[in-house]
Amino acid sequence: MSRSIVPEAISRQPWQMIIPLCGLVGLGAAVLYSAAGGSLQPYALSHVVRFCVFLVMAMVIARMSRNLFRMAAYPIYGAILILLVLVELIGAVGGGSQRWLNLGFMSLQPSELMKPAIVLVLARFYETLPHAMTASWRGLVPAGVLIGVPALFVLIQPDLGTATAVCFGGVVTMFLAGLPLWWFLGAGGAMMVIAPIAFFTLLHDYQRNRVLVFMDPEGDPLGTGYHITQSKIAIGSGGIFGKGFGNGTQSHLQYLPEPHTDFVFATMSEEWGLMGGLFVLFVFTVVIGWGMGVARRAPDRFSSLLAAGMTATMFFYVMINLMMVMGLAPVVGIPLPFMSHGGTSMLTNMICLGTIMAVNRWNQGRGSLG
Amino acid sequence: MKFNFRRLIRAPHVTNGTLRNSFDRRTIVVGGIQGGIGCLLAARMTYLSVFENEKYKLKAESNRVNLSLIPPRRGWILDRHGQPLASNRADFRVDVIPERMSDPERTIAELGKLLSLTPIAMQDLQDKLDRSHGFAPVEVASRLDWERFASVSVRLPDLPGVVTQRGYSRFYPTGPSVGHLIGYVGAASAEEYEKDHDPVLLTPGYKLGKDALEKFYEKDLRGTPGARRVEVTASGRIVRDLDTREDVPGKTIKTTIDAAIQDYAARRIGPESAAVVVMDCQTGDVLAMASMPSFDPNSFSDGIGRLEWKMLSDDDHVPLRNKVLRGLYPPGSTVKPMVALSFMEAGLDPNESVFCGGGLRVGNRVFHCWQRRGHGQVNMAKGIYQSCDVYFYHFAQRIGMDPIAAMAKRLGLGQEFPLPVAGQSYGTVPSPAWKLKKYDKQWQTFDTVNATIGQGYFLVNPLQQAIQASRIASGRIIMPRLIHGHEHEKQASLGVPEEHLAYIRQAMSDVANGPGSAPHARLPFPDIKLAGKTGTAQVVGLNVGNGKGGLWKHRDHGHFICFAPADNPRYACSVVVEHGGGSGAAYPIARDVLTYIFDKEKGMEVLTELETKWGGTAKERLDARFRAYSAQYGVGAPKVSPEEERRKLQGADQPDDPRQPISEAQSPAPEPADEADRPAPAPSPTATPATSPGAGGSPQ
């Protein structure tokens, strides 16, 4: 690399990840352009603009020092928890469920921010936890509370998808923190027992319905199963090379629900075919793989858990969304990172990405040592 | 994994090193799982888009493209001058397809509000929905104005299962006048679809013929549906037309009917329960075939509502029966010209006379002449124009029944004719052989006596009577025709000597123009004369009623057959007025119809005056009646089960057993000897006193 010509701040960026990611965002913009009926408004342009703004933000996050992250972990977690409670209170006062906090200039969804925050706070917790206690109850209970409290608040909003995402990020971090394996196996076993019971008692009707329909989407082709069926039709009818840019009928004739957010992948697949789909998978593989690599290279416990947890959070988005649109998971309102139109999810994912980039920078700083 | 377990059991000493170690291993596990899920997703995607590509392509296409059939425009039914008896008019309509409605109650309530349907209409709609079979469209409303149509159209996305359409609906310009003649159309029932799997039957807005000509010529009138392929959005909004195939309208059916005469005849019947047939007696073309009261075929096309049903079934005038073809009546004295012809053929000299003293003893009973005072010396002509019963009693005994029955059949009585109609009741021409077969009893002299004056077992329908008149008028085997375009076919001669026919025609002319029984039947023209024959048929014995007044159901039927002009016959006409109280109710109708044929203005004048008295035209009276019913009953009319409706409609459809007298009230007691307590047996029309309130004297 011509280190002498390009400034160090730029050359040190992880371009091997950023360039494919830009390609993905570009494809996303193209799909949104088509979904809007061949227009930059209202989706494509704001999508790109947001990405650029948040990319800069991620780079700024990446400049922050490890100590700053360490010190900010608990305050940030606490602040977001308070926001979550606030949302509940306002929602209770306003009547009905509420996920958004209207700040006047923008609406904030605190549950989204909780996803990276939970990883951050857990990384900090396990860093400070004496190693010997990792396998004891003191390694489990506080972490469980840290995950459980926000998850509960999100769950009663109700937002099963985000609650699951919060738990997933937290649990993966705990897993990587070295908690005894049998705890996870035991918890998994318990879940298998509790899940059917919870399914029939705790879930809301519409949530239960979604799961049932997922089991048999054709059983209700015009009701809830409609989403899954139409999404599969969109992906399947695209073939290997797709119907061509702007020619997707499923999205343009509104058979596809939410063609620009949750089902953006189906919209893309219909027009770009299997090739487009494999490209998307490739980019996510690069990004996730890079994130895991950063975590593995991280020298200390805090950074490695932080990077791995953030990667897991992003992975969770990708996995659930793609499984949903392909009919492998029930319909849950989780967008596809970097492709779906929507500010909050982009913000969350870019925070995750920025954090991983920060860890990457710390690695490079240490690089000379190791 | 095993390693971890052991560590747990040993309460392992955890250090930074072991944690780092475990982190490294676990990231590999996590990465592996992630990679595995990535592969799973790639495989799934490949499966969907490569191996199931064909299936999903087809599904996407069937999503995108909506093929809708355009109901073909039904062929018109024209009268002989090309005037439409049944046509189509453009209309806006709204249908629902029950199985596509997500929330039927809400949708129907919403439609009711948007279309401002009355509670009665809502109730009928609900009945139709209850009876529907899911796939078949149910009509909500048709003939909508643009505002109401548009108000539904714009809300279609919120109303799944609702179909709005600009199409054509059947229109019968003269309404009730042609109800029985043309029939009506309606949505296909499940049974009809079972029989005929033409998909057009399921097209919203398609109606098929349910009765009479509409039903008989269904295949010709149907045409070929068009089709439209459109690209639609998920909510059903049409994005663009892909291609359209025009419908091929059904064939036009041109009938022999004269729309003006048909309408006039139907209206002239007025409040009576009656049938009128007008024929061209040279060609057999049926010019009018009216049966009243009737129904309005226009309002039948959207199904028969509860209230409509109640109104029709409450009516003792049986509006659902086509009396021309399915009404059977003892013909009364209208058979006398026919009987006289058979006498002449059997060699009776028409000048041979008999003394009528008001009755004749046959066996141990006296058969009275309607004219109790007697007619004095009566020859054949007087027997006809004065309708002397004794003359016929006397000579019938000499000639015997068989020649009479043979002549009756030659003139068309008891016959079925090849007509495009749903059913004919052909009645009975009694004869010794028939009686033996039917009742296993020997023919008696009094049976002959009864038959010669058109009572006893004799049953005919009004069409046969018109044909009888036509054959007497023309001397040829006139066959009735309803379909235009066979004028060149000349019919063969009856084989009755012309001088016999001339004698009978003169006698029939004298009925109206000479010293006959119906002087008021004379046409109001100096140069056009009408020849006719009256008839009064008893329906109950004199012990029940005298036939003139009292219960409507007990009054005599009135008959009149005629043709005009008498010297050069062109038009033949028959009229039957059920329980009209005698022929006095029948011949004024025939007279006015013929007057109208020769002079439209003069005919209309008479009708206008009468209709003011009756309270409007047939359609206006029907509408008024419906309004009265809806005010009286509202939504309280009982629900009609489909079985009941089918039974009733078919009951009116199917001929009564032609071998049975039409009703229990059928008067002529076939075995008068058994009724010794009855001095004046029913068969002889003894009860036609000169003091009868019937108009125009008391013709018999």
Same domain, A43 and A113: no
Contact assignment for A249 to B19 by CB distance below 8 Å: no
Nearest residue on chain A to B59, alpha-carbon basis: A233
Same domain, A250 and A272: yes
Same domain, A45 and A103: no
Question: Span A197-204, mean pLDDT?
Answer: 76
* Domain assignment present for A185: no
Question: Span B299-315, mean pLDDT?
Answer: 79
Q: What tokens were used for A61?
A: 């996050």
Angle at A277 between CA A274 and CA A280, to 5 degrees: 155
Instruction: Note the pLDDT tens digit of each residue in B190-200.
Output: 778 888 877 77
Q: How confident is the model at residue B261 (pLDDT cuts 50, 70, 90)?
A: very high
Instruction: Note the pLDDT tens digit of each residue in B584-628.
Output: 899 999 999 999 999 999 999 999 999 988 888 888 888 888 888
* Domain assignment present for A363: no
In a mutagenesis test of the A interface, which of B8, B44, B45 is the best target, namely the one with the most A β-carbons within 10 Å? B45
Q: Which residues of A touch B7 (CB under 8 A)?
A: 180
* 3-state secondary structure (DSSP) of residue B642: helix
pLDDT of residue B663: 31
pLDDT of residue A270: 92
Instruction: Note the pLDDT tens digit of each residue in B509-544.
Output: 999 998 888 888 899 998 999 999 999 988 877 667
φ/ψ of B385, rounded to 5, equals -70, -30
Read off the DSSP letter of residue B342: H
Q: How confident is the model at residue A223 (pLDDT cuts 50, 70, 90)?
A: low
Percent of chain B with pLDDT strictly greater than 90:
35
Here the ipTM equals: 0.90
Which of A180, A213, A236 is at the close of a domain? A180
Contact assignment for A278 to B231 by CB distance below 8 Å: no
The domain total for chain A is 2
- A207-211, B69-73, B123-127 — which is least confidently predicted? A207-211
pLDDT of residue B631: 83
Question: Span A82-88, mean pLDDT?
Answer: 86
Between the ranges A5-19, A89-103, B48-62, B686-700, where is the mean pLDDT highest? Answer: B48-62
DSSP strand pairing (A107-108 vs A101-102): antiparallel
Q: Distance (Å, rounded) from C-alpha B232 to C-alpha B229? A: 9
pLDDT of residue B647: 63
pLDDT of residue B562: 94
Of B19, B42, B53, Cβ closest to residue A301:
B19
pLDDT of residue A196: 80
Q: Distance (Å, rounded) from C-alpha A361 to C-alpha A13? A: 8
Q: Distance (Å, rounded) from C-alpha B359 to C-alpha B443? A: 22
Same domain, A226 and A338: yes
Q: Which residues of B touch A303 (CB under 8 A)?
A: none
* Domain assignment present for A91: yes
- Residue whose C-alpha is closest to residue B395's, from B376, B380, B373, B416: B380
pLDDT of residue B690: 33
Q: Does A267 touch chain B (CB under 8 A)?
A: no
Percent of chain A with pLDDT strictly greater than 90:
40
Instruction: Note the pLDDT tens digit of each residue in B481-499.
Output: 999 887 777 788 888 899 9
pLDDT of residue B68: 76
Same domain, A138 and A280: no
Percent of chain B with pLDDT strictly greater than 70:
88
Residue B674 has pLDDT above 70, yes or no: no
Contact assignment for B60 to A233 by CB distance below 8 Å: yes
In a mutagenesis test of the B interface, which of A237, A315, A328 is the best target, namely the one with the most B β-carbons within 10 Å? A237
In a mutagenesis test of the A interface, which of B2, B34, B46, B57 is the best target, namely the one with the most A β-carbons within 10 Å? B34
* Domain assignment present for A192: no
Percent of chain A with pLDDT strictly greater than 70:
88
Burial level of B480, CB count in 10 A (0-12/13-18/19+)?
buried
Q: What tokens were used for B246?
A: 């025009």
pLDDT of residue B664: 28
User: A15: distance to nearest CA of chain B, Å?
Assistant: 21
Same domain, A113 and A239: no
pLDDT of residue B134: 64
- A233-242, B219-228, B344-353, B556-565 — which is least confidently predicted? B219-228
Residue B654 has pLDDT above 60, yes or no: no
Contact assignment for B23 to A177 by CB distance below 8 Å: yes
Residue A108 has pLDDT above 80, yes or no: no
Question: Span B542-566, mean pLDDT?
Answer: 83
Of A132, A240, A295, Cβ closest to residue B49:
A240
Same domain, A252 and A330: yes
* Domain assignment present for A29: yes
Which range of residues forms the domain containing residue A23?
Answer: 14-63+204-356
- A348-357, B21-30, B663-672 — which is least confidently predicted? B663-672
pLDDT: is B187 or A290 the higher one? A290
Q: How confident is the model at residue B665 (pLDDT cuts 50, 70, 90)?
A: very low
pLDDT of residue B40: 94
Instruction: Note the pLDDT tens digit of each residue in A323-354.
Output: 989 988 877 778 899 999 888 888 889 999 99
Residue B249 has pLDDT above 70, yes or no: yes
* Domain assignment present for A303: yes
Of A239, A308, A315, Cβ closest to residue B53:
A239
pLDDT of residue B676: 32
Q: How confident is the model at residue A162 (pLDDT cuts 50, 70, 90)?
A: confident
Same domain, A244 and A321: yes
Q: Distance (Å, rounded) from C-alpha B404 to C-alpha A115? A: 108
pLDDT of residue B670: 29
Residue A363 has pLDDT above 80, yes or no: yes
Burial level of A165, CB count in 10 A (0-12/13-18/19+)?
buried
pLDDT of residue B486: 75
Nearest residue on chain A to B238, alpha-carbon basis: A253
pLDDT of residue A94: 54
Same domain, A75 and A48: no
pLDDT, averaged across chain B: 83
Contact assignment for B56 to A235 by CB distance below 8 Å: yes
The 3-state secondary structure of chain A reads CCCCCCCHHHHCCCHHHHHHHHHHHHHHHHHHHHHCCCCCCCCHHHHHHHHHHHHHHHHHHHCCCHHHHHHHHHHHHHHHHHHHHHHHHHHHHHCCCCCCEECCCCEECHHHHHHHHHHHHHHHHHHHCCHHHHHCHHHHHHHHHHHHHHHHHHHCCCCHHHHHHHHHHHHHHHHHCCCCHHHHHHHHHHHHHHHHHHHHHCCCHHHHHHHHHHHCHHHCCCCCHHHHHHHHHHHHHHCCCCCCCCCCHHHHCCCCCCCCCCCHHHHHHHHHHHHHHHHHHHHHHHHHHHHHHHHHHCCCHHHHHHHHHHHHHHHHHHHHHHHHHCCCCCCCCCCCCCCCCCHHHHHHHHHHHHHHHHHHHHHHHHHCCC
Q: Does B32 touch chain A (CB under 8 A)?
A: no
Instruction: Note the pLDDT tens digit of each residue in A285-327.
Output: 999 999 999 999 988 889 999 999 999 999 999 999 999 899 8
Residue A67 has pLDDT above 60, yes or no: yes
Residue A12 has pLDDT above 50, yes or no: yes
Same domain, A221 and A245: yes
* Domain assignment present for A244: yes
φ/ψ of B324, rounded to 5, equals -65, -40
Q: Does A244 touch chain B (CB under 8 A)?
A: no
Contact assignment for A236 to B102 by CB distance below 8 Å: no
Residues of A numbered 34-73 whose beta carbons fall under 8 angstroms of chain B's beta carbons: which are they?
none
pLDDT of residue B672: 28
Nearest residue on chain A to B39, alpha-carbon basis: A281
Q: Does B676 touch chain A (CB under 8 A)?
A: no
Q: How confident is the model at residue B678 (pLDDT cuts 50, 70, 90)?
A: very low
- A174-188, B339-353, B464-478 — which is least confidently predicted? A174-188
Residue B229 has pLDDT above 90, yes or no: no
pLDDT of residue B695: 34
Q: How confident is the model at residue A367 (pLDDT cuts 50, 70, 90)?
A: very low
How many contacts, defined by CB atoms under 8 Å, are there between A and B? 150
Instruction: Note the pLDDT tens digit of each residue in B422-458.
Output: 888 889 899 999 999 989 988 988 888 888 888 889 9
Q: How confident is the model at residue A4 (pLDDT cuts 50, 70, 90)?
A: low
Q: How far from the centroid of its chain's Cα atoms is residue A272's Cα?
A: 24
* Domain assignment present for A189: no
pLDDT: is B665 or A285 the higher one? A285
φ/ψ of A350, rounded to 5, equals -75, -30
pLDDT of residue A322: 93
Same domain, A49 and A102: no
Of B14, B53, B234, Cβ closest to residue A134:
B14
Residues of B numbered 213-252 whose beta carbons fall under 8 angstroms of chain A's beta carbons: which are they?
231-235, 239
Q: Distance (Å, rounded) from C-alpha B627 to C-alpha B679? A: 49
User: A336: distance to nearest CA of chain B, Å?
Assistant: 14
Secondary element (H or E) of residue B403: helix B401-410
Same domain, A279 and A309: yes
